[in-house]
Structure 1
Amino acid sequence: MTSPTSCALCQARATQVCAACRNVVYCSREHQKEHWKQHKSQCKCYEMDTNQLLGRHLRATRDIRMGEQIMREAPLVLGPKVASPPICLGCHRNLLPPAKRSDNFYKCSSCSWPLCGKECEQSPYHRDECRLMAASNFQSKINYNPVEPELKESAYCVIMLLRCMQLKQSNPAAFAKLSALEDHLKERLDTPLYQVLRANLITFIKTVLGQRDWPEMEILRLAAILDTNAFEVRQNSERRKVRAIFPGGAMIAHDCVPNLRHRFDDDMNIVFLAKRKIAKGEILSISYTQPLRSTIQRRLHLKQVKCFDCACARCSDPTELEIYAGSRMCEKCKVGKFVSVNPLQNAANWKCQVCNIVKGAREVLTQDAKLQQEIESLDKSTPAALEDFLYRHRIELHETNTHILQAKYALTQLYGSAPGFSMEELSEKSLQRKIDLCEELLQLSNLIDSGWSIFRGNLLIDLEEAIVTKALRLDDATECEAKLKQAVELLQEIANIMKHEPEMQQLLAERKVILDAALERFTTAVE
């Protein structure tokens, strides 16, 4: 396709390309600003597509650079998770304990739901639900619990659902966008969760709150839309952990090796960024699962939570892109690995690649669940239990088995931070162990979570700190210089990955100060 050469506003010859979509050009900055209202709706680097496997999804309409922002979207509806610790329904911050243990939270003067204070009573998020509950004479019974202040309250399950229902009157256009989203209600109806919803929540909404005009199935469909499409919004600095619907974001496909990542800005808008270069025509994707999990773990999680069977390239490959995360070593030949004969069928048998001995899926699943339970129950306050786990299972589990990888990743966090294992306290052996683990997992990330991913960024932060510590312990000037140069390169890559993460900027500034001081110390010592 020929690139445009005429200004989109005045048709004069132009060369200033719109940085976002690259589909139009302007002769001046002023004409670009003037044309924005007309161009805004078309200014994007993707288009909607559909197929039988993925349904509706987004596809790149041009080549996309690594780190490029793809989409920024405000939440259509926002609110507490199904079970939540006490949270303000106005600003959505987790509520702080009262000044005195005998005191209670501030309560809304109309409906008694806990809030931060009087100003949050007038929040547009809370007003409509407050009027409905007050009109029905419903009063919240949530109180401060000094014994378990973070105890999750199931009463919050009604709030997000009510906010969706109230859109039908307050914002019909928004309700239409919400209703157009996938629900998977048929698959969810017979689950224990939805049986509880039908028995308790529907009764509360229709009887206690008087919403008798709403058909039961329509309410349940809204609940299913939330479960299928909602994103968890975390803002640790603001004490927020809620969920929200972003209709545009919901169109982005899932892939176990995704090309996008997302974050949330100060206004709780969702922002999607390219983790790597994306070619024109490529499907845009994020991941709803953890990269170190095995295919069978990821697919079971996606089926339970999102009601679909993933068939991405990683899930379809019995070797998981040569990682073998779900495989165990063969007990008979000692050299082969068990792989599924059909990874897209959870009930399929598993076969050793060398001696062809076969195991049933139930046996594999049972062994996997037992190991997962074991690793989750380990004491993770120090490296000892995790290192012991790796040693005890060194024969049956190879180096990139999911349980081994989970233990190794936890160890990269513990070495340098656990009590008695701070960076200054690490022995040479433990320091080198941290470096080796970080480098091993970074190599793996090139296959399953490449580019500017948060997973890689966190590993690089740990590696950079360990390398600087290592450099400052070296007597050999040449080795020390090489390590510090490596740290400089790592910190630059970290800065690129984390430049859109405001909460990371202070840490990066501190790491730069430490590295600059180390470089200055080295230079002084050499002179």
Structure 2
Amino acid sequence: MERKMEDRVMELMTQLESIHLHRPSDLHHSTSSKTQNTNSFSENLLQDYGSERCSKSLRSSFVEDSYPSNGLTTTCNQEGWEMRWTAGYGRYLITSRNITAGEVIFREKPLLLVPKVASDPLCLACLKTLDHKGCRCSTCGILLCSPDCPGGSHGAQECCLLSRLGLKSAPLNGRDVKELHALVGPLRALLLATESSAAREALSLLQSHKEKRMKLPIGRFVEDRIVKTLRSRLGLKVESEIIHHLCGVLDTNAFEVTLENGGRARAISVLASFLNHSCLPNAQRWYTQGHMTVRASVDILKGSPILINYTQTLWGTIARATHLSSCKMFTCQCKRCLDPMELGSHMSSVACRECQEMMTPPETPRRPWLCPNCGTSTDGSAIEALVRAGAVALGRLTSDDLQGMTSSLTHFSRMLGQNHYIVAQVKYALVQAIMKRPLKDVNFTDLAQVVDLTKELLKLAACIEPGLTRFRGLLLYDQTRAEAEVIDRCSSSRGDTNPEVRDSSLKDITASNPTETSTNPLQTLLYQAAECEYILQYDPLLQEVMELTRQLRWRMESDGSVMTSNATPGSNPGRHCGASKSHSSLE
């Protein structure tokens, strides 16, 4: 069995040479030319491969002793990672040397881009979301942003096949659009596999869980809506199992990405597909300028698995477990999932109705929840119903309903406690809703609330997702913008400020960054912006962050302030934010 798997791993490495990988040194701010490697990607992998090499004991502060010490190994040391295989974990990547927080581990172009199944109407050529009715393809009738859209996703062969659906003269409602999106993904994967032997081999070796999926409702949907359509209506002579495999590959391995045109898509990036999951990750993926970038969010020791989060950071344990079991077909055993207190964050705990002490979830679902302080017992099914009701109410909130969000925050905090994950999601949604408005239209009370909420959420982020993460970067961005506006209003004595509020706000801003000794609030904000810029250097928001940094620097120069060396992006400010730490309790 192991010999057969070894052959398939080597076969995959051979096929991957058609996928263009960028060197980790290809950083965002670098403009120097790159030295070309004379060996192909697969040759670099295979030259050090040997079946006699056994993996050493993995060292990781994230998944201690959970990975086996034997397995197959193939290496590419100059990239900083190695590929391993074991029966329990399949193929996964580990570090071949110590990796520093903020260091790029690898970059790659996606093998395939397909529309999100449940997305709003979008152009199937460039995958841009349509904010209008758009137009229809003159041949097959699918939606396009314009008749001459330059997007290359909708090829001639796909167009010819889709024309057999008869969409050209038929209206498309919301359900039709979603079913079309569900069909286009596996169709594009199938056409790609037909055109390229390298892509076909890569897709065949990615995990699909098709055997499990075919027994579930998703398997019946694929059979009824996709397999039958591809075979009977489009006339493709392809086995049912192949289509089920491709659908499983997309659902299991695709990453949701934001494109340069603002559209949302699913991307298959082969190397990134081998990254294992942890709810306490040590790396993050970024998609910008057509490339998937994987970067260390904390320091990673040599021999540790490279781990990313397949779920949402602000979900509780049960919500994360439900998503992973239903969509990814496995159960997470990371430290956060195994800890009822979720690393001290209490995101799944509920406040006792008698004394407000945190009650942690029982080991067995639907068992009574016991308060460790007063001993009050609460029926487990009642708490589950309360959490479900909160999740439904959260889903109904709209970004323009600030009053509804504020009242929901008060209500959920009283019913579930300040630390519950639904409360954390409402806090973050409220910050985003306030900060998406023009700052001149935001009153001082809302600005102060943004500052307070981002501080709370930054403390939470340091606990459940430490290091140089996008969540921290986005929070820093909104916090810095809000604080800069507060300073501007206080200095000009305009708006709804008074001396006491002004003095208190400026004092809070100056003290918001404990590593900065300057008493100048602008100096503190410039430091925050520099850290934010460093974190988000591969994020689509980077240009806005750089503009914020430029404005703060101009303000300081206009005021005659002197910058310290810490307030420059090039000094790696991420080293000062606890990026090398695994997690810290909120308590």
TM-score (norm 1): 0.80
2:126 maps to 1:107: no
Q: Find the aligned partners of 1:152 and 1:223 in 2 and give their Cα distance.
A: 18
* Secondary structure of 2:478's aligned partner: helix
Deviation digits for residues 229-251 of structure 1 (CA, Å, limit 9, x no counterpart): 1112211x414322122221111
Aligned twin of 2:97: 62
Tell me the CA shift for residue 150 of structure 1.
11
8 A contact 1:234–1:241 mirrored in 2: yes
Aligned twin of 1:299: 321
- Which among 284, 293, 312 is matched to residue 271 of structure 1? 293
Aligned twin of 1:338: 359
Q: Find the aligned partners of 2:151 and 2:442 in 1 and give their Cα distance.
A: 52
Tell me the CA shift for residue 520 of structure 1.
4.3
Q: Find the aligned partners of 1:400 and 1:142 in 2 and give their Cα distance.
A: 53
Tell me the CA shift for residue 492 of structure 1.
1.0
Deviation digits for residues 337-365 of structure 1 (CA, Å, limit 9, x no counterpart): 222333xx656654333345555543332
Alignment of 1:7-46 (within 5 A): 20=24, 33=36, 35=38, 37=40, 40-41=44-45, 42=76, 43-46=78-81
Change (3 A) 1:523 1:424: farther
Count of residues in Structure 1 that have an aligned counterpart in Structure 2: 480
Q: Find the aligned partners of 1:494 and 1:217 in 2 and give their Cα distance.
A: 46
Change (3 A) 1:222 1:396: same
8 A contact 1:114–1:142 mirrored in 2: no
Q: Find the aligned partners of 2:170 and 2:186 in 1 and give their Cα distance.
A: 22
- Which among 530, 538, 548 is matched to residue 500 of structure 1? 538
Aligned twin of 1:208: 233
- Which among 139, 152, 158 is matched to residue 129 of structure 1? 158
Tell me the CA shift for residue 114 of structure 1.
3.8
Q: Find the aligned partners of 2:144 and 2:412 in 1 and give their Cα distance.
A: 50
Aligned twin of 1:254: 277
Aligned twin of 2:107: 72
- Which among 459, 462, 465 is matched to residue 443 of structure 1? 459
2:524 maps to 1:486: yes
Change (3 A) 1:178 1:346: farther
Change (3 A) 1:405 1:52: farther
8 A contact 2:137–2:168 mirrored in 1: no
Q: Please tell me the residue identity of whatever aligns with 2:301.
A: A
Tell me the CA shift for residue 94 of structure 1.
3.7
Identity of aligned residues (%): 26
Q: Find the aligned partners of 2:452 and 2:131 in 1 and give their Cα distance.
A: 41
Tell me the CA shift for residue 418 of structure 1.
4.6
Moved more, 72-81 or 356-365: 356-365
* Secondary structure of 1:47's aligned partner: strand
Q: Please tell me the residue identity of whatever aligns with 2:467.
A: G
Aligned twin of 1:426: 443
Change (3 A) 1:283 1:338: same
Aligned twin of 2:257: 233
Tell me the CA shift for residue 308 of structure 1.
1.7
Q: Find the aligned partners of 1:329 and 1:96 in 2 and give their Cα distance.
A: 43
Change (3 A) 1:522 1:341: same
Tell me the CA shift for residue 33 of structure 1.
4.2
Deviation digits for residues 106-145 of structure 1 (CA, Å, limit 9, x no counterpart): 4243x343445666699475133234456xx444348787
2:347 maps to 1:318: no
Q: Please tell me the residue identity of whatever aligns with 1:391.
A: T
Q: Find the aligned partners of 2:314 and 2:118 in 1 and give their Cα distance.
A: 27
- Which among 168, 176, 199 is matched to residue 224 of structure 2? 199
Change (3 A) 1:516 1:170: closer
8 A contact 1:461–1:494 mirrored in 2: yes
Aligned twin of 2:63: none
8 A contact 2:138–2:168 mirrored in 1: no
Q: Find the aligned partners of 2:553 and 2:175 in 1 and give their Cα distance.
A: 41
Q: Please tell me the residue identity of whatever aligns with 1:499.
A: Q
Tell me the CA shift for residue 93 of structure 1.
3.2
Aligned twin of 1:159: 184
Change (3 A) 1:482 1:120: closer
Change (3 A) 1:410 1:509: same
8 A contact 1:97–1:105 mirrored in 2: no
2:199 maps to 1:174: yes
Change (3 A) 1:283 1:467: same
Q: Find the aligned partners of 1:31 and 1:325 in 2 and give their Cα distance.
A: 45
Q: Find the aligned partners of 2:226 and 2:138 in 1 and give their Cα distance.
A: 22
Q: Please tell me the residue identity of whatever aligns with 1:74.
A: K
Change (3 A) 1:506 1:219: closer
- Which among 424, 428, 448 is matched to residue 405 of structure 1? 424
Q: Find the aligned partners of 2:462 and 2:169 in 1 and give their Cα distance.
A: 47
Q: Please tell me the residue identity of whatever aligns with 1:159.
A: V
Q: Find the aligned partners of 2:153 and 2:534 in 1 and give their Cα distance.
A: 37
Tell me the CA shift for residue 96 of structure 1.
6.4
8 A contact 1:108–1:115 mirrored in 2: no
Tell me the CA shift for residue 312 of structure 1.
1.0
Change (3 A) 1:222 1:248: same
Moved more, 200-209 or 83-92: 83-92
8 A contact 1:106–1:115 mirrored in 2: yes
Deviation digits for residues 492-522 of structure 1 (CA, Å, limit 9, x no counterpart): 1011111222x32331233134323432454
* Secondary structure of 1:440's aligned partner: helix
Tell me the CA shift for residue 292 of structure 1.
1.7
2:242 maps to 1:218: yes
- Which among 360, 378, 386 is matched to residue 367 of structure 1? 386
TM-score (norm 2): 0.73
* Secondary structure of 2:419's aligned partner: coil
8 A contact 1:325–1:401 mirrored in 2: yes
Q: Find the aligned partners of 1:494 and 1:383 in 2 and give their Cα distance.
A: 26
Change (3 A) 1:164 1:471: closer
- Which among 243, 247, 253 is matched to residue 266 of structure 2? 243
Gap regions ≥5 residues in structure 2: 1-22, 26-31, 46-75, 492-498, 511-518, 562-587
Change (3 A) 1:72 1:395: same
Deviation digits for residues 141-194 of structure 1 (CA, Å, limit 9, x no counterpart): 48787xx89984422322221222234432223112111111122332243333
Tell me the CA shift for residue 313 of structure 1.
0.8
Tell me the CA shift for residue 84 of structure 1.
4.4
Tell me the CA shift for residue 328 of structure 1.
0.8
